[in-house]
Amino acid sequence: MQEIINRAKELLADGTVVRVLGWRIGDLPYNPEPSYFETAEDLEANFVYNGFCGANLSKYMIEGSKLEGKTLVFLKPCDTYSFNQLIKENRVDRDKAYIIGIGCKGKLDIEKIKAKGIKGILNIRGAEIDGNADTLTIETLYGEKTIPYKDAMLERCHVCKGKDHMIYDELLGESIDTKDADRFAEVERIEAMSPEEKFAFFQSELSKCIRCNACRNVCPACSCRKCVFDSTKFDSAQKANVDSFEEKMFHIIRAFHVAGRCTDCGECSRVCPQGIPLHLFNRKFIKDINEFYGEYQAGADADSKGPLTSFTFGDVEPGVTGGRR
């Protein structure tokens, strides 16, 4: 981690960048938060990069692009997909960002640790990125507990897109591909359900929604200046969570709006305070797009047209043929 801080200080000092977008030590050992740093002192004292730095910093560069001067931004391999997609949509200014592709060995999910009955957490060892600790040692009010690193990883890391950065100015630190599960297994399980079972499944998941908008606010694809759910121009604005229909509409509309643009970064599910597996909606669209138009990974590049916003003679016409590839 010191290597990262040192490099950030260098870039600040030589004037390459005027600020650093990274993660700041939180009030708990497991909740670092995205933050700007403008001085070497602040970096030295408060910058952190560890297994809990899951937050994708790409979206913050929408505002960062509007600031005076260049911003150093740290992007993990999967974050770079989001950044590319934002370049494609003219939402971030590539020239305003100095990107350090930072190493990643899988990020941690505090909810998974808590689910193991581990409470009163005082300190966590083994979440640092240095070294190859495969066990988390957790100091709690009730004594020390251990849990394998893998068992505490975010769902998205089990279906890791790979250790390569799609866009960067320089690379720092090593990454490993942590994929050990099938990305579409859960989608396939739901696809196999009867319509009634599917309805019951989504009803039970989405009825947990408290419309806190965390999923929308964190989503790099949900980058509209004014969200349709906030605009007075539409009847959909800020509808109270009065019935089960509305909460479903919110998530379904959101999934449609990000279809073809979602990079599957998994932030929606990571931040959901209710633990709703929101990424499944997006992944269903991704699976369909792959089947209809061929394998497509949003954000793998910054200039190609997406499958839903380009027309070719080879396009399937599911409405006509009902068929898939």
Partner 1 sequence: MQRIGVFVCHCGSNIAATVDVKKVVEMARLEPGVVHAEDYQYMCSEVGQAKIATAIHEKHLTGIVVCSCSPRMHETTFRKAAEKAGLNPYMVEIANIREHCSWIHKNIEEATKKAVILARAAIAKVNLNTPLKAGESRVTKRALVIGGGIAGIQTALDIAEAGYEVDIVEKTPSIGGRMSQLDKTFPTLDCSACILTPKMVEASAHDKITIYTYSEVEKVSGFVGDFTVDIRKKARSVDMTKCTGCGVCQEKCPSRKAPSEFNRGLSTRSAIYTPFAQAIPNVPVIDREHCIKFKTGKCGLCEKVCQAGAIDYTQKDEIITEKYGAIVVATGFDTIKLDQYDEYAYSQSKDVITSLELERIMNAAGPTKGHLERLSDGKPPKNMVFIQCVGSRCSDNRGKSYCSKICCMYTAKHAMLIRDKYPDVNVTVFYIDVRTPGKNFDEFYRRAVEDYGVNYIKGQVGKVAPQPDGSLLVQGVDLLDNKQILMKADMVVLATAIEPDPSVRSIATMLTASIDTNNFLTEAHAKLRPVESPTAGVFLSGVCQGPKDIPETVAQAGAAAVKAIGLLAKDKLMTNPCTAKADELLCNGCSQCENVCPYGAISYETKLINDHGVREERRIAVVNNALCQGCGACTVTCPSGAMDLQGFSNRQILAEVDAICR
* Interface residues toward partner 1, by CB under 8 A: 66, 88-91, 223-228, 231, 233-235, 257-258, 261, 305-306, 308-311, 313
Q: Residue 87 has what DSSP assignment?
A: H
96 half-sphere exposure, CB direction, 13 A CA radius:
18
Residue environment code for 79-110, b if the CB has 16+ CB neighbours within 10 A, otherwise e: bbbbbbbbbbeebbbeebbbbbbbbbbbbbbb
Residue 131 has a CB neighbour count (10 Å cut-off) of 7
Q: How far is the CB of 76 from partner 1 (least distance, A)?
A: 24
Helices (H), the chain: 2-13, 40-46, 60-64, 77-88, 110-115, 155-158, 185-191, 195-206, 214-218, 244-258, 267-271, 279-293, 318-321
Nearest to 62 by CA among 71, 53, 75, 50: 71
Take residue 217 and report the two structure tokens written for it: 């606010």
Contact (CB, 8 A) for 108 and 131:
no
Tell me which residue of 8, 180, 157 sits closest to 77, measured CA to CA: 157
Element (H, E) at 81: helix 77-88
Helix (H) or strand (E) run with residue 274 in it: none
Please tell me the distance from the alpha carbon of residue 237 to that of residue 231, in angstroms, as a whole number.
Answer: 5
Measured from the CB atom, is 244 or 310 closer to partner 1? 310
Cβ closest to partner 1, residue 172 vs residue 308: 308
